[in-house]
Amino acid sequence: MEIMICHTSMQPIYEQIVEQIKTQVLHGTLKGGEALPSVRSLAGELKISALTVKKAYDCLEQEGMIVTVHGKGSFIAEGNLALLEETWKKEVENALSMAVEKGRDYGMTDEELRELFEIIMEEP
Amino acid sequence: MEIMICHTSMQPIYEQIVEQIKTQVLHGTLKGGEALPSVRSLAGELKISALTVKKAYDCLEQEGMIVTVHGKGSFIAEGNLALLEETWKKEVENALSMAVEKGRDYGMTDEELRELFEIIMEEP
Amino acid sequence: MEIMICHTSMQPIYEQIVEQIKTQVLHGTLKGGEALPSVRSLAGELKISALTVKKAYDCLEQEGMIVTVHGKGSFIAEGNLALLEETWKKEVENALSMAVEKGRDYGMTDEELRELFEIIMEEP
Amino acid sequence: MEIMICHTSMQPIYEQIVEQIKTQVLHGTLKGGEALPSVRSLAGELKISALTVKKAYDCLEQEGMIVTVHGKGSFIAEGNLALLEETWKKEVENALSMAVEKGRDYGMTDEELRELFEIIMEEP
DNA sequence: GTGGTCTAGACCACT
DNA sequence: GTGGTCTAGACCACC
């Protein structure tokens, strides 16, 4: 499994791990039933504390994304893909919504906001 | 001056104050040269520590938004409106950009993103 | 008497007044026995608090630069010119000394310091 | 790390800390990437409040001198040495410039100023 | 009255 | 363990 973490990011490391695993499940890189690396091996690989990895796995388990079996390891949960899509979509919607609100707060007209949006869509 | 703070927000109180004052300057509610409430009086009004208000004022001064004169008080700086607008616009652009990136990361097509954007624009 | 004050300077207003009066005595613009404007008239002229002017006059009196006669006003003290020169010279020496120390702290060689000094001497 | 503070100085304690850390970086005593003592440990060592140390670290971070990582500590930033040297040099120049101006204000001739400068250079 | 600094605690999140 | 934030006091200098 490929995880990239950034120590200088404002985002906590454990959240970076959570997001990347979620993204990989969404993309199908990780599939239901598949085993995740052990807490200690991933911690060793990323050169971070095992507690940090543990916290990430705990978050994922709490959300029902993974299942941890004592003494065997952690595995991607089966069949939650629809749910995951839903929450992810909600997140995108929220992010977009807050950006629009910020723009309106600043005084931008709908015209200007749409223009800016199109520029961003066509750019990268 | 009207400031509303939320003690349960994840955003630090001092940042909430900073943002709201910036917004009011941008909206023209606060104009150049105008006096801000004293650290102590605003703290009393909001029922928070004076140090928290001071930290907010320190941030604003550091950004050149306000000028503080020892023994007299703090005042909105003159003529930085254009600069403020620029930085604010950049913030909106960034927020929008990150939302779009998040959507693409999730696998949304440009079509779907545009659709979602339009729904948000017409909603509130 | 001509006094110019700067409200945005880091230097307290009362000190600005003290320094300018000292300078004028040194330059001979103000002579021994000459009357200073009353606290309230100078305060009115400069549009500052009378307490601030009072504090400046108090400092000057404490240093023996002026003499205040109750009910009559404040006057430049006689014959202190030599003393004033001495203290002023000391101040210049201190300022120069601290600048040199700062330069050495930074790691400048005597060579470099002398060079910089000459550039400054020939500049303005 | 060696920090000496003076409680009776007019200079705020947090500024004393800022200056001394800057000086040590400039001298190479502290190198890029090196860890600073934790806020609490330095506070304990110097017998001052942790908030005072934190304010010093905040100033340094704001200037880009150090990088603070949540939950890990503060570290000397890499590669800003050239920038630091430049600003430091400017400070020396300013200090020297103001000393010269003060001397001229007092009426010293260039001759006298040069003489005084040489005495100071050869003294300590 | 004002801001500038400092203290000695506290709670939280991150590692 | 670490830093980030906040509190409720205090003293000082300046206006």
Q: Is the CB of B13 under 7 A from strand F?
A: yes
* DSSP per-residue codes, C65-99: SEEEETTTEEEEPSS-HHHHHHHHHHHHHHHHHHH
C7 touches chain B (CB under 8 A): yes
Closest-approach nucleotide to residue B53, Cα vs C1': F6
Reported residue count of chain A is: 124
Does B35 touch chain C if contact means CB atoms closer than 8 Å? no
User: pLDDT band at residue C124, thresholds of 50, 70 and 90?
Assistant: low
How many CB atoms lie under 10 A from the CB of residue B90?
A: 10
Residue percentage of chain D with pLDDT more than 70? 99
Q: How many CB atoms lie within 10 A of CB C100?
A: 23
Residue in D61, D70, D75 to test binding to A, most A beta-carbons within 10 Å: D70
What percent of chain A is modeled with pLDDT above 70? Answer: 99
CA distance A39 to chain B (A): 26
Please state the rounded mean pLDDT for residues A52-68.
Answer: 91
- Smallest CA–C1' separation from C15, nucleotide: F14
State the pTM of this model: 0.88
Interval C65-77 mean pLDDT? 90
Q: Is there a contact between A99 and B99 if contact means CB atoms under 8 Å apart?
A: yes
- Mean pLDDT, rounded, for D2-12: 92
**Closest residue in C to D95 (Cα–Cα):** C99
The fraction of chain B above a pLDDT of 70, given in percent, is 99
CB atoms under 10 Å from CB of A16, counted, come to 19
A106, B92 in Cβ contact below 8 A? Answer: yes
Q: pLDDT tens digits, residue range D40-95?
A: 999 999 999 999 999 999 999 999 999 999 999 999 998 778 888 888 889 899 99
User: pLDDT tier at D123 (50, 70, 90 boundaries)?
Assistant: confident
How far A109 CA sits from the closest chain B CA (Å)? 11
pLDDT digits (tens, 9 = 90+) for C1-52: 889 999 888 889 999 999 999 989 888 899 888 999 999 999 999 999 999 9
Q: Does the pLDDT value for residue A39 go beyond 80?
A: yes
What residues of D are in contact with residue A8 (Cβ under 8 Å)? 67, 69
Please report residues of D whose CB lies closer than 8 A to that of A12: 70
Length of chain C: 124
In the predicted structure, residue B124 carries a pLDDT above the cut 70: no
pLDDT digits (tens, 9 = 90+) for B62-103: 999 999 999 999 999 987 788 888 888 898 999 999 899 888
Mean pLDDT on A69-95: 86
State residue B69 phi and psi, 5-degree precision: -115, 125
Per cent of chain C over pLDDT 90 is: 52
A81–chain B Cβ distance below 8 A for any pair: no
> Span A48-64, mean pLDDT?
92
Tell me which chain C residue has its CA closest to the CA of residue D107: C27
> What does the mean pLDDT of chain C come to?
89
Is pLDDT of B107 > 90?
Answer: no
pLDDT at D124: 67
CA of B93 to C1' of E1 (A): 43
User: Can you point out the beta strands (E) in chain B?
Assistant: 66-69, 73-76
Asked if pLDDT for residue A45 goes beyond 80, the answer is: yes
- pLDDT above 90 for B13: yes
Say what the pLDDT of residue B85 is: 87
Asked if B110 lies within 8 A of A116 by C-beta distance, the reply is no
Name the nucleotide with the smallest C1'–CA separation from D54. Answer: F3
Of D22, D23, D3, which Cα lies nearest the Cα of D13? Answer: D3
Burial class from Cβ neighbours inside 10 Å (0-12, 13-18, 19+) for residue C89 reads middle
User: How many inter-chain contacts (B to C, CB under 8 Å) are there?
Assistant: 5
